[in-house]
Amino acid sequence: MSCPSIAALSCGRVIRDLSLTILCVLQVRKFVIRRKVQPKGEGKKEYEKAPRIQRLVTPQRLQHKRHRLALKRRQAEASKDAAVCLH
């Protein structure tokens, strides 16, 4: 499967096809955070629940989150410094 270049994406169908291709290639199931659920009552087996695909936590998303927080922190420090210089 070859992915078209981003510049060539002109219609929604092509974009959806590309996203499906990427999802198939990455095997996204390994990124899903699963949690164990203890059912009520005795003798029932513990089972796992997982969120929908839209809520996947990938290393790339975590990196973007760290970057956003770093920018926010840097901006706060800069505004504090500016406030100190003005007074």
Give the span between the Cα atoms of 75 and 81, in whole angstroms.
10
DSSP string, the chain: --PPPGGG--SHHHHHHHHHHHHHHHTGGGG---EEE--SSTTPPPEEE---GGG---HHHHHHHHHHHHHHHHHHHHHHHHHHHH-
Domains of the chain, residue spans: 1-56, 58-87
pLDDT-above-70 percentage for the chain: 61
Output the average pLDDT for the chain: 77
**The pLDDT value given to residue 33:** 80
**The pLDDT value given to residue 61:** 85
Measured CA to CA in angstroms, residue 24 lies from 3, 51, 74 at distances of 12, 18, 38
**The pLDDT value given to residue 17:** 65
pTM for this model (two decimals):
0.41
| Mean pLDDT, range 49-70, rounded to an integer | 84
Under 8 Å between Cβ of 34 and 48 = yes
pLDDT digits (tens, 9 = 90+) for 5-46: 444 445 556 656 666 566 555 666 777 788 999 998 888 999
